[in-house]
Structure 1
């Protein structure tokens, strides 16, 4: 049995940089950063408990969301490692757990819903009319297909 964490990585500006940095990392780099965080804060015993079941199944650099699978009994260690994570590939970020699910299907539905909400915020910020067709439309279609195609 597994737990599925839907996580948003919110980039934070450094002290000398006013703008939010771009997240230019991928799923493997998130896995490596999470592994290091778990080892640093929970030791080899913590990593030994989580390591076999932990996988990063999906990451979107557009909306910064990530789906992580971990064993049911170890999900609190993985969540703790995420909470204590400070940066990925040198990019300071705040990992925000949006949803915890017992099935991949519910994680997929939450990810699709969250993607739509983030894109709606981007459009509102750009003051685009509701019927306006933009590059986000094709992104939503492709990301929805990619998320739905994930298998356990």
Structure 2
């Protein structure tokens, strides 16, 4: 028996601040959805690799998890064409018309390693938010609950 082998891409979509002349730049208030990310990935594959690239990647490309709070996304793709998907992710410039910069944080062969990397990355992002806010180390805030619930969501993902 042969099993279907995957690659798991852990991607952070960093929204670009919108800049209106004469005003302060501000971050995009609207959040992405996993469906919008999937459509942007499909368009990127079609644009840069054509129908052949989409034929190789399309049947296995799925967005398994997306957190709008940290813009962290877990994408599953078949092992053979995973480099096409990886290249397409890095070439995405906008999701649903909102500019963003994709940052591939981790690539793994199992969902478990992607989950562990996502939980680790969420903790690092929250630590950066706390450092930016200059809060003491023992301070309890809403991020504690977020870290707990996001870890449960991520660990609950099935292959």
| TM-score normalized by the length of structure 1 | 0.96
Unaligned runs of 5+ in 2: none
Show the counterpart of 1:150: 157
> Per-residue deviation at 1:21?
2.0
2:115 paired with 1:111? no
Q: Distance in 1 between matches of 2:96 and 2:50?
A: 21
| TM-score normalized by the length of structure 2 | 0.92
- Given the alignment, which residue of 19, 26, 36 partners 1:19? 26
- Given the alignment, which residue of 133, 138, 141 partners 1:134? 141
- Please identify the structure whose Cα radius of gyration is greater: 2
Contact 2:31 2:68 in 1 (8 A): yes
Aligned CA distance change for structure 1 residues 121 and 99 (closer, same or farther; 3 Å)? same
Higher helix proportion: 1
Unaligned runs of 5+ in 1: none
Cα RMSD between the aligned structures? Answer: 1.1
> Per-residue deviation at 1:38?
0.5
CA deviations over 1:72-115 (Å, ceiling 9, x no partner): 00101101111111000111001000000000000000000000
> Per-residue deviation at 1:116?
0.2
> Per-residue deviation at 1:15?
4.5
- Given the alignment, which residue of 29, 51, 54 partners 2:58? 51
